[in-house]
């Protein structure tokens, strides 16, 4: 079905080695896999699909596509405080995909599975006349009953984010050939932030017991915070000047080629957004790489305030709550 390599060779030669460290995968030789249950731990699961031309560019390197596919899922687990242990992969490869492409894809998968110490435990492989379409389902362990949920935020909590915000959306613009006047180091940094999310797995795990609520930021800080607020039945105010920005993002802002509003609503950050009671501030700061950006309030909806207290209007597609 695939040029140069049939589906069974592909699974046996390229994918089965990725299951080697996990007995429950049965070497990808059976119809199912077994999940590793552990006393005192919940198994949490999540799935993300990516389509060429929508979530990545068809010409992106195969290994990089594989890495992003794994990482967007691990980011969801990290946001729950869960440690990943396994993934399933459903792949619809364009008919006629080359063996070299498939090998590079499998190499990218292998590198990330190794880096995160997880196994590929099964999946499905088909050919399509449409665009490359990939879906990963990831599984993780978290202390029973203690996963960080979107619904746990309480009025009075401090709002926190990890890392810097807005680099992903700027990186996409670099990938599309824009922002050419930035220096090359900054362009490379932004591109890397767009192409290779860093799931905040260690941070997420350490937030269990400290944070009240958590999620990862994939569709824009403001929109994702809106989802968290709705799930928790609260409102929130972001203090814009406290939102951490990279040097590169500041440079783009100064040049007038972006606005704070678009950095706060752009996607592909894959940082963590979480809320915690004020008493936890010291312990959370000690984790490093996190910034308080505002407060959870009684009510509903998300407001963004500038330094002087004025509300910054946020207008963004798909977000209708202003
Ligand atoms: P079925 O006939 O039930 O669809 P397959 O022949 O597709 O089964 O799958 C055989 C084995 O290979 C199963 O263990 C399955 O989980 C595994 N497998 C198939 N495709 C993939 C993939 N893309 N990634 C990982 N494992 C896969
Ligand atoms: Mg079967």
Checking if the pLDDT of 2 tops 70, the result is: no
Calculate how far, in angstroms, residue 19's C-alpha sits from the geometric centre of ligand 1. 12
Q: Residue 124 CA: which ligand is closest? A: 1
pLDDT tens by residue, 200-226: 999 999 999 999 999 999 999 999 999
Calculate how far, in angstroms, residue 248's C-alpha sits from the geometric centre of ligand 1. 43
Q: Residue 123 CA: which ligand is closest? A: 1
Residues written for the chain: 322
pLDDT tens by residue, 119-168: 999 999 999 999 999 999 999 999 999 999 999 999 999 999 999 999 99
Ligand 1, residues at Cβ distance < 6 Å: 11, 15, 28, 30-31, 89, 91, 120, 122-125
Domain 150-305 has CATH 1.10.357.10: no
How many helices (H) and strands (E) the chain has is answered by: 10, 10
Q: Is 222 within 8 Å of 301 (Cβ atoms)? A: no
Calculate how far, in angstroms, residue 9's C-alpha sits from the geometric centre of ligand 1. 11
What CATH class has 7-143? Answer: alpha beta
Q: 14 φ, ψ to 5°?
A: -100, -35
Paired sense of beta strands 133-143 and 213-217, if any: unpaired
Taking the alpha carbons of 193, 194, 199, 200 in that order, is the dihedral positive or negative?
A: positive
> How confident is the model at residue 319, as a pLDDT?
35
**Residue 317: C-alpha distances to residues 94, 109, 220, 284, 311 (Å):** 31, 33, 11, 33, 19
Calculate how far, in angstroms, residue 30's C-alpha sits from the geometric centre of ligand 2. 7
Domain ranges of the chain: 7-143, 150-305
Tokens for 303?
């407001």
Q: Band of the pLDDT at 314, cuts 50, 70, 90?
A: confident
Taking the alpha carbons of 213, 169, 295, 206 in that order, is the dihedral positive or negative?
A: positive
Which residue has the least CA distance to atom 18 on ligand 1? 123
Exposed / middle / buried, residue 18 (Cβ in 10 Å: 0-12, 13-18, 19+): buried
Q: Band of the pLDDT at 316, cuts 50, 70, 90?
A: low
Q: Residue 30 CA: which ligand is closest? A: 1
Which residue out of 11, 87, 113, 134 has the highest number of ligand 1 atoms within 8 Å of its CB and is therefore the one to mutate? 11
Q: Residue 28 CA: which ligand is closest? A: 1
Calculate how far, in angstroms, residue 29's C-alpha sits from the geometric centre of ligand 2. 9
The pTM assigned to this predicted structure is: 0.94
The residue-averaged pLDDT of 91-107 equals 95
Q: Is 76 within 8 Å of 48 (Cβ atoms)? A: yes
Calculate how far, in angstroms, residue 124's C-alpha sits from the geometric centre of ligand 1. 4
Which residue has the least CA distance to atom 5 on ligand 1? 124
pLDDT tens by residue, 175-199: 999 999 999 999 999 999 999 999 9
Exposed / middle / buried, residue 188 (Cβ in 10 Å: 0-12, 13-18, 19+): middle
Same CATH fold, 150-305 and 7-143? Answer: no
% of the chain beyond a pLDDT of 70: 96
Residues forming beta bridges with residue 214, ordered by sequence position: 274
Q: 120 φ, ψ to 5°?
A: -85, 115
Q: Which atom of ligand 1 is nearest to the CA of 26?
A: 14
Which residue out of 125, 133, 136 has the highest number of ligand 1 atoms within 8 Å of its CB and is therefore the one to mutate? 125
User: Could you give the 3-state DSSP secondary structure of residue 268?
Assistant: coil
For residues 229 and 302, what is the distance between their CA atoms, to the nearest angstrom? 8
For residue 43, which of 89, 77, 2 has the smallest C-alpha distance?
77
Which residue has the least CA distance to atom 20 on ligand 1? 124
Helices of type H across the chain: 7-9, 62-79, 99-115, 167-175, 184-195, 201-207, 221-232, 247-254, 260-265, 281-285
């Amino acid at each position: 079905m695939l040029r140069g390599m049939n589906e069974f060779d592909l699974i046996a030669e390229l994918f089965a080695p990725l299951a080697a460290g996990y007995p429950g995968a049965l070497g990808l030789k059976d119809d199912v896999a077994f999940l590793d249950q552990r006393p005192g731990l919940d198994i949490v699961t999540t799935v993300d699909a990516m389509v060429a031309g929508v979530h990545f560019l068809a010409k992106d390197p195969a290994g990089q596509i594989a890495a992003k596919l794994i990482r967007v899922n691990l980011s969801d687990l990290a946001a729950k405080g869960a440690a990943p242990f396994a993934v399933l992969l459903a792949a619809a490869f364009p008919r006629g995909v080359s063996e070299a492409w498939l090998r590079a894809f499998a190499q990218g998968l292998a590198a990330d599975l190794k880096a995160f110490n997880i196994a590929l435990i099964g999946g499905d492989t088909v050919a399509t006349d449409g665009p490359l379409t990939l879906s990963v389902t990831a599984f993780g362990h978290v202390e029973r009953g203690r996963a960080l949920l979107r619904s746990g935020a309480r009025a009075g909590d401090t709002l926190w984010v990890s890392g810097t915000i807005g680099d992903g959306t700027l990186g996409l613009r670099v990938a599309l050939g824009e922002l050419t006047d930035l220096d090359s180091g900054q362009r490379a940094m932004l591109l890397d932030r767009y192409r290779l999310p860093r799931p905040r797995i260690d941070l997420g795990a350490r937030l269990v017991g400290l944070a009240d609520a958590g999620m990862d930021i994939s569709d824009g800080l403001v929109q994702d915070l809106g989802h968290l607020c709705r799930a928790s039945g609260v409102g929130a105010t972001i203090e814009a000047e406290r939102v951490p920005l990279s040097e590169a993002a500041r440079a783009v802002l100064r040049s007038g080629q972006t606005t704070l509003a678009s950095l706060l609503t752009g996607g592909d950050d894959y940082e963590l957004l979480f809320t915690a009671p004020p008493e936890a501030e010291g312990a959370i700061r000690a984790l490093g790489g996190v910034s308080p950006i505002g407060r959870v309030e009684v009510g509903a909806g998300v407001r963004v305030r500038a330094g002087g207290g004025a509300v910054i209007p946020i207008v963004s597609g798909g977000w209708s709550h202003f």
